[in-house]
Structure 1
Amino acid sequence: MSFHDKFISDRSKARSHSHFTLNQTAKTTKPHSNPIFISGGLPNPIGFPIDEITVNLTTSPNPRPRFVPAATLFSKPGLVEFPDITENSTRLSQNLKILKFAESLETATNGNGGQLTLERSLQYGEQDGHPQLKKFVTALTKRLHPPKLDEKDWNVIITNGGGDGIHKAVDLLINPGDHVLVEEYCFSPSFDNIKSVGGILVPIKLDYDEGLDVTGLKRILENWDEAKQGPKPRVLYSVPSGQNPYGVSQSLERRKAIYAVLKEHGIVIIEDDPYGALAYESYNKKFTNGNSSKSLNTPEKAHDESVDSEARESDISKADIDHYTSLIAPSYLTIDDVGLVVRIDTFSKVFSPGLRLGWIVSHVNFIEKLSLYTSLSTRAASGVSQLLINNIAHSWGLEGWLRWCLLLRNQYLERRNHLLAQLDKLDQSKITYITPVCGMFVSALVHFDKIASSSFNGVTLPYQSRLVELGIEEGVLIVSGSNMAASEELRQTAKFIRLTFAYEDPDLLDEAIKRLGKAVDRLFEEGEIKQK
């Protein structure tokens, strides 16, 4: 115990963080001199829609125009009107000029055409986000995930990225000692968030088709013994689209079934959706597995089996956009009629993670409390981040934004197909995979049980750890499924490793999977690992 421990709050002492991409390895592990990165979930820089930023600096204090009243900086009801976000858009490949001041009183008092000025964005901002940006994310939500609630009953708040949204939602809903329903394998920093406020994780089984298992959810809730276990869970945390790590998405039918259970038992869902815009067509290889009796990869259309990642903006038609948006799984907002959804969204995967900007959509009663916590913690999100995204989004319009998302999605789709084609070349008796329909990741199923079939007791952790070490030696960085487990039992028995196709170029993905194949072969050749 250090001198300072007596000053630190119990809440602070209870916090922990162990990112799933970090692995402990034996001292004898010899790292490859040129490793390939298919572990962490870094978005590819092709998804940053800014080629260059030029900043013109002033040489002396520059007074604001007297014709623009200071009151026009703020969105007072009846004073400032913001234009609608239309389906029409300008070209994506344009130069965007950002002004320090509004050019006239008229433009200032009608919201400056939806654009933020430097004067506004570099100033203290509203804690809920600039009204212009809130207008855009509201329009985007209505376009892709129209809430079932009356419009007066829901609202949005701008956050400092998805992680900030998760933290604030967890703070809003979970008390110390609360049991919280979570997916058995998921984004582990969210588990840390839940535990940091005193929440107790209750893992729900996942299947390889659509993720969260309805039967498993019902079984836990219907058999809950409050006398022995305490109060029934009131919160579910889920990544329903592009589930991390499995890459599967819940269908509308699955979501309706899950929502019915949540509504029956009075449970709020934290719907974390960072990957929803990266929705894909099917892959053309048949695959079945022990958790599913159906094929995950039946082609929907012949043209869906390949993608032209070199397609330009001019090649994208409205029909293409409509087809793309039809692939995006609908949010729980679209079926929630009482306000049980706190939806967390982010710009990280389709614009830039470094800008640290996202938003939450929920019932106005929840948004009010989130706004209060924001005023006491982070305050407003970065004005510069809001400026860049807002002004680009307003200049593109909704159609232009979706056109950009589709062009980016095509790049990731090509990488996904490329990685899966390389995995198809490996020994399928040793390693197979779950085909992702959304997101940035592939879960590869390693058949650890075949290494020592006569003595295998279901414990995979020693084999997981050894495979990570062999990957490091062969020069391929992967994520152990054990690192994404919601309980110690699940950590000991994880059957998968997680790979990403997002960051590396296709030629390096080829080499990465060759190296992975060598690591898997070495693991099987080494044979049984004696349990301690």
Structure 2
Amino acid sequence: MSVQQNGVVVHERPSITDIMERRAKAGRLVTGIAAVSDSDMFKAPTSGKPKAKNWDSHLSPESQGRPPCILKQASGYLKVPGMISLGGGFPSSEYFPYSEISMRVPTAPAFAETDPTQLVTIGKHDIRDGTSEYDLSVALNYGQATGSPQMTRFITEHTELMFNPPYADWQICQTVGSTSALEQTVRMLCDRARKDSILTEEYTFATALETIAPLGVKAFGVQMDGEGLLPESMDQTLSEWNEDARGARKPHVLYTVPSGQNPTGATQGIQRRRDIYAVCQKHDLYIIEDEPYYYLQMPAYKAQPTAPSSSDPTSVETFIAGLVPAFLSIDVDGRVLRMDSFSKVLVPGSRLGWITASAQIVQRYQRHAEVANQGPSGFSQLMLWKLLDETWGHEGYLRWLMDLRMHYTRRRDALLAVCDEFLPREVVSWTPPSSGMFLWMKVDPAKHPDYPRRSALDIEEEIFHHAIDNGVLCARGSWFRTEPGTPASEIFFRATYASASEEAMGTAIQRLSMAIRKSFQLQ
């Protein structure tokens, strides 16, 4: 539905009720092996929304040269009634050694390990028997690079619920996790021969840098503050770009982790995101929005909470409304490729995520996936679909995310409390994160007795090894520097509150404090 607000057309986000009514009207989803599907089969009507811009000028020659997979396209003929296939190399499900899979899962919204669970069973021929829309006979055979229609439908509806992209021709494509998606996306947009480069935060995800560098693409860092990437710094960097001095073309791609940024924990507010988007429009940058921690947005940290936070959402609508809008939600040009993943919110081992972008970009991504990995695992798709769609539904999954947010808030608060208690505040500072899994601690090298005779990097290394000797591992800030060859005048360490118990975190911070005090010769 579209409404007028101050003379501007606003397309309202659909509700869960709207989506389920649309499903009921469409009827039961029945698909066969390697069924062809896309988001347009499951989206609400997009009349009134503009089309995305054309991005030919941003695509690499490699991407533009990729033809469609002929054998994958031939699968489209299988939907013709009465068609007998002798064309595809699909093994018969008769010879699959899995007849049934059973799993115990929580019943929404009771997600604690101590709560009662329910047994969910997946059979080989549930579709044939009319007991489910997805089964082992289909999931365990070859599929399309975009993933199964069943998971495509759920993810498309989820994307509408959460982001409601403001242009018409958006699509989703399932991925083999976000690291694989990033590698394919960088190859799709950048080319070594053109001396392409990427702009990102001055400290960013180390694996992203390790993905970009071997492709012969340079990454350049933009200054940050407590809210993440600084749009003024980005604008100045691009406006003053000197190709000869930089050894690379002016960047036409921005890679950013807007929420709970890895490693700094910074979260861009809505105005910051709008300002960054405006700079990208000004300089025609394409945005890779990497958002594994988006749903782990938390209330502000209170050093001594006395009661449950009044900001804790009680309904899924309140939860959705409280999240900072994504770049995808303000993307009027179709210049954002958003990467989502189930890794941080369900199970990393599923290796299942998805991208959302314009139909043109998704098609180019799909052409690469067809010959790179042929799409995500059928086991992963079927097991997640059975949990998220058939068992929990959209509301159940959102309540899971609400519950997860509460647990990570408690873990964050526990880590911050022991930091307040034990770390030497005269040399260590930090900003409480409002999203994600990480605390970014700044150590002031200027207060070290041997500085500047010893470099900040040398002092960082000393603290790191003191900490290892004490039995605690923290990630060194230098591991995340986008431009490691430039001089460093600051020391950082990254700690996570995602895995260790609250008691173990307390012990770890005490050990880290001892390492810092030893290096700085503090009592």
Q: Does the alignment reach a TM-score above 0.5? A: yes
TM-score by length of 2: 0.75
| In the alignment, structure 1 residue 384 sits paired with structure 2 residue 384 | no
> Secondary structure of 2:314's partner?
helix
Partner of 1:416: 412
| In the alignment, structure 1 residue 159 sits paired with structure 2 residue 164 | no
Partner of 1:303: 308
Partner of 2:368: 373
Partner of 2:342: 347
Q: How far did residue 306 of structure 1 move? A: 10
Residues 398-438 of structure 1 deviation map (CA, whole Å, 9 limit, x = unaligned): 11001111212221111100000000012210212121111
Partner Cα separation in structure 1 for residue 286 and residue 454 of structure 2? 34
Residues 367-408 of structure 1 deviation map (CA, whole Å, 9 limit, x = unaligned): 001100001111121100111111111121111001111212
Partner of 1:175: 191
- 1:224 to 1:82, Cα distance in 2 relative to 1, 3 A: closer
Q: How far did residue 493 of structure 1 move? A: 3.1
Partner of 1:356: 351
- 1:82 to 1:322, Cα distance in 2 relative to 1, 3 A: closer
Q: How far did residue 74 of structure 1 move? A: 4.8
2:511 pairs with one of 515, 521, 529: 515
Alignment map for 1:217-296 (pairs within 5 Å): 217-226=234-243, 229=246, 231-285=249-303
Partner Cα separation in structure 2 for residue 169 and residue 362 of structure 1? 11
Partner Cα separation in structure 1 for residue 234 and residue 471 of structure 2? 40
Partner Cα separation in structure 2 for residue 77 and residue 206 of structure 1? 41
- Is 1:431–1:447's contact at 8 Å kept on the other side of the alignment? yes
Q: How far did residue 188 of structure 1 move? A: 1.3
Instruction: Name the amino acid aligned to 1:280.
Output: M
Alignment map for 1:123-138 (pairs within 5 Å): 123-138=141-156
Partner of 1:405: 401
- Is 1:281–1:327's contact at 8 Å kept on the other side of the alignment? no
Partner of 2:446: 449
Partner of 2:159: 141
Partner Cα separation in structure 2 for residue 305 and residue 432 of structure 1? 28
Q: How far did residue 101 of structure 1 move? A: 0.6
Partner Cα separation in structure 2 for residue 379 and residue 371 of structure 1? 9
Identity of aligned residues (%): 32
Partner Cα separation in structure 1 for residue 453 and residue 309 of structure 2? 41
Partner Cα separation in structure 1 for residue 330 and residue 134 of structure 2? 34
2:32 pairs with one of 72, 75, 87: 72
2:479 pairs with one of 473, 477, 483: 483
1:214 pairs with one of 193, 218, 231: 231
Instruction: Name the amino acid aligned to 2:250.
Output: K
Partner of 2:26: none
> Secondary structure of 2:174's partner?
strand
Q: How far did residue 77 of structure 1 move? A: 7.6
2:326 pairs with one of 331, 335, 358: 331
Partner Cα separation in structure 2 for residue 419 and residue 506 of structure 1? 7
**Higher relative contact order, chain-length normalized (CA < 8 Å, sep 6+):** 1
- Is 2:147–2:174's contact at 8 Å kept on the other side of the alignment? yes
Q: Which runs of 4+ in 1 moved over 4 A?
A: 81-84, 89-92, 226-230
Residues 163-208 of structure 1 deviation map (CA, whole Å, 9 limit, x = unaligned): 1111111111111111210110010111122222211111101111
Instruction: Name the amino acid aligned to 2:236.
Output: R
- 1:76 to 1:350, Cα distance in 2 relative to 1, 3 A: closer
- Is 1:149–1:339's contact at 8 Å kept on the other side of the alignment? yes
Instruction: Name the amino acid aligned to 1:146.
Output: N
Instruction: Name the amino acid aligned to 2:184.
Output: K
| In the alignment, structure 1 residue 100 sits paired with structure 2 residue 124 | yes
Q: How far did residue 76 of structure 1 move? A: 5.8
> Secondary structure of 2:356's partner?
strand
| In the alignment, structure 1 residue 199 sits paired with structure 2 residue 217 | yes
- Is 1:184–1:490's contact at 8 Å kept on the other side of the alignment? no
Partner of 2:22: none
Partner of 1:322: 317
- Is 1:282–1:304's contact at 8 Å kept on the other side of the alignment? no
Instruction: Name the amino acid aligned to 1:401.
Output: Y
- Is 2:43–2:156's contact at 8 Å kept on the other side of the alignment? no
Partner Cα separation in structure 1 for residue 492 and residue 124 of structure 2? 52
Partner of 2:59: none
Unaligned segments of structure 1, at least 5 residues: 1-69, 287-298, 308-317, 528-532
Farther off after superposition, 195-204 or 154-163:
195-204
- Is 2:441–2:493's contact at 8 Å kept on the other side of the alignment? yes
Q: How far did residue 330 of structure 1 move? A: 1.8
Q: How far did residue 218 of structure 1 move? A: 0.8
Partner of 1:18: none
- Is 1:430–1:447's contact at 8 Å kept on the other side of the alignment? yes
> Secondary structure of 1:241's partner?
coil
Q: How far did residue 494 of structure 1 move? A: 3.7
- Is 1:90–1:397's contact at 8 Å kept on the other side of the alignment? no
Instruction: Name the amino acid aligned to 1:259.
Output: Y
Partner Cα separation in structure 2 for residue 477 and residue 305 of structure 1? 35
> Secondary structure of 1:97's partner?
strand
- Is 2:33–2:142's contact at 8 Å kept on the other side of the alignment? no
Partner Cα separation in structure 1 for residue 459 and residue 272 of structure 2? 34
Partner Cα separation in structure 2 for residue 178 and residue 457 of structure 1? 38
Instruction: Name the amino acid aligned to 2:119.
Output: N
- 1:91 to 1:219, Cα distance in 2 relative to 1, 3 A: closer
Q: How far did residue 91 of structure 1 move? A: 6.1
- Is 1:185–1:486's contact at 8 Å kept on the other side of the alignment? yes
- Is 2:199–2:254's contact at 8 Å kept on the other side of the alignment? yes
TM-score by length of 1: 0.74
Partner Cα separation in structure 2 for residue 505 and residue 255 of structure 1? 34
Partner of 2:96: none
- Is 1:82–1:132's contact at 8 Å kept on the other side of the alignment? no
> Secondary structure of 1:95's partner?
strand
Partner Cα separation in structure 2 for residue 83 and residue 483 of structure 1? 42
Residues 438-490 of structure 1 deviation map (CA, whole Å, 9 limit, x = unaligned): 1110011112211138x537941001101110001111101010111011255
> Secondary structure of 1:221's partner?
helix
Coordinate RMSD, CA, aligned:
2.7
Q: How far did residue 142 of structure 1 move? A: 1.3
Instruction: Name the amino acid aligned to 2:446.
Output: D
